[in-house]
Structure 1
Amino acid sequence: MSYKLIVDSGCDLTTEMEKEMNISTIPFKIAVDDKEFIDDENFNMDLFLDTMKNSSNPIKTSCPSPFDYESEVEKASEDEIFILTISSKLSGSYNSANIAKNQILEKDPKKKVHVFDSKTASAGETCIALKINEFIKNGLGFDEIVEKTEKEIDKLKTFFILENLDNLIKNGRIKKTAGLIANVLNIRPIMIGENGEISLFEMNRGFKKSLSKLADALGNVVDDIEDRTLVISHVNGLEKAEEFEKKVRSLYNFKDIKIIHTKGLASGYADNGGIVIAF
């Protein structure tokens, strides 16, 4: 059987990775004031970050519609389709994909389509996409890929550290007073994604200290690191990502480590200099 993987742009992938893994990415739309950005291959990252920085308003995002997903599935020549979305607790993308799936199966009940709720975003969604591709390459059947991928989603760990908390304040993710105090005191919290939602993992002063403490903590989070791929997504923070990778390699034996620049959606929340890691 031939497989097709469709993801939303909550998944950080390079153009080369999309081609290599036969992945189609359906973009979110992101509005900053009256300017709209489409999170596709033509996305202007520098203009987006600059526009966001100069606005006092939160960004507004529009997830892919059911029609977007249905159209992408109908274009696919492959026999069996997997769709992977950002956490259903963060966006309506998963709901849109399921509506599309039901419409497709009404037209063709023999079609095989499965929608995965990644329960994460950014580097975490990338980790799941890499796992699905690995299962496909290993020749697993459709139902086995579904079963194994759901297990991978349940055991995935996602963390992030932000250089700037302004966007979290503007978007109401943290209280304005608390965010301003954190900025003044140079507090850079380590956040963790759990069950599709975001919570505090640890508080530190300074980005470098938080990066170092996070690297030290990974060994206490899971006990099967050698079987996992670590994905490090960054927003114009390649030097930080490489520094983190260097320390992690000195401490652990991950199966693989990949460094990727975030797409527009993750950049809108992680902001300039932010780092998201998942494994």
Structure 2
Amino acid sequence: MSEVTDLVVIEKSSAMAVFTNADHLAPLIETIEKEARSLVPDVSTRKGRDAIASMAHKVARSKTYIDNAGKDLVAELKALPKQIDESRRLVRERLDALKDEVRRPLTEWEAEQERIKAEEAMNAAHEEALAMNEEFDRQRAAQIEADHELALLMNESFDRQREEARQKAEQEQCEREQRLQLEAEERARREAEEKSRLELAEFARREAEARAAAERAEREKQEAIDLAERQKQEAIAAERRRAEEAEQARLAEEQRKRDEEARRAADVEHRRAINRQVIADLIAEGIPDDIAETVLKAIVRNKVTAVSIRY
């Protein structure tokens, strides 16, 4: 609002109310109209003509001042959505970073717990295999001892059978140990694979949730952008309509003023013509010029009873 006028002043703190409430705007326009119409136009003197031109210039300056005030207000409102979007972006970035920072100890603890569980499962399988081997060794030792005592009671022919049985038992023991080892390894492998599968599934779930959250945030952001754009376009359209309506009103008012001025000028000229004809008629009746003008003035001022001029 860089321009100051003699007819009206709009404070910046009240500009929004002025341009959004007819109860505030109408009094401003009425003040200008009252001041402008208080001038009694006199085109017969230079001073009178200058006064008319000065008042018209004041009205024009008031129009420009009010229009510029509205334009400045619209510029401020257009900048508001950008400021809001920047604030939202700052909030999202800083609070997302804060969320990750706050949860980091828990995330690291959960990862460590998963590693410990896997290590414990592997150790448990290994200990189970060792325990089974020890039990089998004990049973085998007992069997060998029993076979040895029995061999002492049997003859040489049975020694060969005992040796074959011992070798067979050793082979079976070796096969059993290998089978138990393979079973323990297979069980550990399956558990590791299951753990890995669960971890991958959990990772995929978290990733899907993060992706869905990002897509939702992007969708909400786009919706906000679209809403802001629609609001901006609606504000622009409303401002354009108001400007068009104001321009139409201004043109209509200017036309009305021109018509009024033309009507007044025509009326003045019409009265002058009739007055001149009245003077001429009086002179034609033998009344001197100065007396004829005096009579006309008396009639115009209604100083002559029952006598008037019909214009």
User: What is the TM-score with the length of structure 2 in the denominator?
Assistant: 0.18
Asked which structure has the greater RCO (Cα within 8 Å, sep 6+), the reply is 1
Higher helix share: 2
Q: Is the radius of gyration larger for structure 1 or structure 2?
A: 2
User: What is the TM-score with the length of structure 1 in the denominator?
Assistant: 0.19
Higher strand share: 1
